[in-house]
């Protein structure tokens, strides 16, 4: 779909009174968008990636207490962590978007696609802890009431990740997947500081950020850096509504925020998008806000950042 048409549709829905606008936009996403597709594998893979980063630093998901920022509509990252033995997963969302119907559809998918789910987890699926949890998943009765507690998930929605209410030093992993790019910079600092407060001495901060212009996910005519052309007021008019909001922070800004929250970065895995880089090198003009940054910084599409509290 042409990105400007999508922007108009989102802006119209965002102007409706809040519950109605959310219901209308949800139905549109269900019929024509990503919520109509049940395939939890990308988020299961994200949970597995979090496990890999934790284990690379000598930590484990088994028995851990985890905070997830920004649940969204589904619960597949927490389910992946639960399958690997997580003891308790607190997941926070400022907006209570979580939909039991979608979670139950995902669980049905997981249960009936054992081979492809096991393929996602690879050798990890052979571990006793995974096998035990898998058996539990196959045996238990899950309905619209227990769908979170069955997976040791405490859903805080509405809940602000900047104010978790959890004790200091009580969390092993602080994680998110494609969330930080949707949160205003002024709110990111308190979220990260809260993460640093609740993380235990050995705790890890493991976050995945998608820096791409999300309109480009459905419009191949534009690149992932298309939105960098606009000044902030223009961009806010086009994509600043509550369904699309993106802060347009670049990878260097995230680094500054993480360090500013008193965390020490131990892993920084970035993917630069070639098509975006080419567009920038060929003279795509970006707003003054982005002109001091290198083309590689502006064209960074994704990042996994792993950090720990500064000792």
Ligand X SMILES: C[S@@+](CC[C@H](N)C(=O)[O-])C[C@H]1O[C@@H](n2cnc3c(N)ncnc32)[C@H](O)[C@@H]1O
Binding mask 66-85 for ligand X (x = CB under 6 A): ---xx-x-------------
Tokens 């607190």 sit on residue: 90
Using the rule CB under 6 A, which residue among 87, 105, 160, 219 binds ligand X?
160
Binding mask 111-130 for ligand X (x = CB under 6 A): --------------------
Tell whether residue 188 is a contact of ligand X (CB under 6 A): no
Tell whether residue 192 is a contact of ligand X (CB under 6 A): no
Binding residues for ligand X, total number by CB under 6 A: 19
CA distances (Å), origin 46, targets 75, 79, 222: 12, 11, 26
CA distances (Å), origin 218, targets 2, 23, 43: 8, 22, 19
Using the rule CB under 6 A, which residue among 44, 103, 107, 161 binds ligand X?
161
Tokens 């993380």 sit on residue: 199
Nearer to ligand X (CB atom), residue 69 or residue 299: 69
Using the rule CB under 6 A, which residue among 25, 82, 130, 177 binds ligand X?
177
Q: Among the candidate windows 19-27, 59-67, 159-167, 260-268, which touches ligand X by CB under 6 A? A: 159-167
Q: Is 241 left (phi over 0), alpha (psi -120 to 50) or beta?
A: beta
Using the rule CB under 6 A, which residue among 10, 22, 65, 178 binds ligand X?
178
Q: Among the candidate windows 53-61, 128-136, 143-151, 180-188, which touches ligand X by CB under 6 A? A: 180-188
Using the rule CB under 6 A, which residue among 6, 10, 43, 174 binds ligand X?
43
Using the rule CB under 6 A, which residue among 174, 182, 207, 250 binds ligand X?
182
* Torsion angle of the four alpha carbons 59, 64, 68, 71, in this order, in degrees rounded to the nearest 10: 130
CA gap 81, 19 in Å, rounded: 31
Least Å from the CB of residue 92 to ligand X: 4
Tell whether residue 97 is a contact of ligand X (CB under 6 A): yes
Task: List interacting residues with ligand X (CB under 6 A).
Answer: 43, 69-70, 72, 92-95, 97, 160-162, 177-179, 182-183, 187, 191
């Amino acid at each position: 779909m042409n990105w400007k048409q999508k922007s108009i549709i989102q802006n119209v829905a965002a102007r409706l009174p809040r519950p109605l606008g959310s219901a209308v936009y949800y139905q549109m996403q269900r019929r024509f968008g990503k919520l109509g597709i049940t395939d939890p594998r990308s988020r299961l893979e994200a949970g597995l990636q979090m496990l890999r980063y934790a284990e690379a630093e000598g930590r484990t998901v088994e028995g851990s207490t985890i905070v997830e920022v920004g649940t969204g509509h589904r619960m597949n990252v927490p389910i992946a962590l639960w399958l690997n033995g997580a003891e308790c997963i607190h997941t926070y969302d400022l907006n209570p978007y979580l939909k039991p119907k979608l979670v139950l559809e995902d669980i049905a998918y997981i249960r009936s696609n054992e081979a492809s789910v096991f393929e996602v987890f690879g050798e990890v699926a052979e571990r006793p802890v995974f096998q035990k949890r898998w058996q539990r998943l196959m045996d238990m009765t899950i309905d619209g009431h227990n769908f979170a507690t069955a997976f040791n998930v405490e859903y805080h929605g509405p809940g602000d990740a900047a104010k978790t209410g959890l004790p200091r030093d009580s969390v092993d992993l602080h994680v998110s997947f494609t969330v930080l790019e949707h949160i205003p910079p002024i709110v990111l600092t308190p979220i990260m500081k809260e993460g640093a407060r609740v993380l235990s001495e050995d705790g890890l901060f493991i976050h995945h950020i998608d820096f791409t212009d999300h309109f480009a996910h459905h419009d191949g005519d534009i690149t992932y850096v298309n939105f960098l052309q606009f000044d902030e007021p223009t961009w806010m008019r086009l994509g600043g509504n509550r369904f699309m909001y993106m802060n347009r922070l670049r990878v260097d800004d995230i680094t500054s925020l993480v360090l500013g929250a008193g965390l020490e970065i131990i892993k920084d895995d970035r993917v630069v998008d070639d098509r975006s880089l080419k567009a920038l090198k060929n003279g795509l003009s970006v707003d003054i806000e982005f002109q001091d940054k290198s083309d590689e910084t502006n064209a960074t599409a994704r990042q996994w950042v792993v950090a720990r509290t500064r000792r």
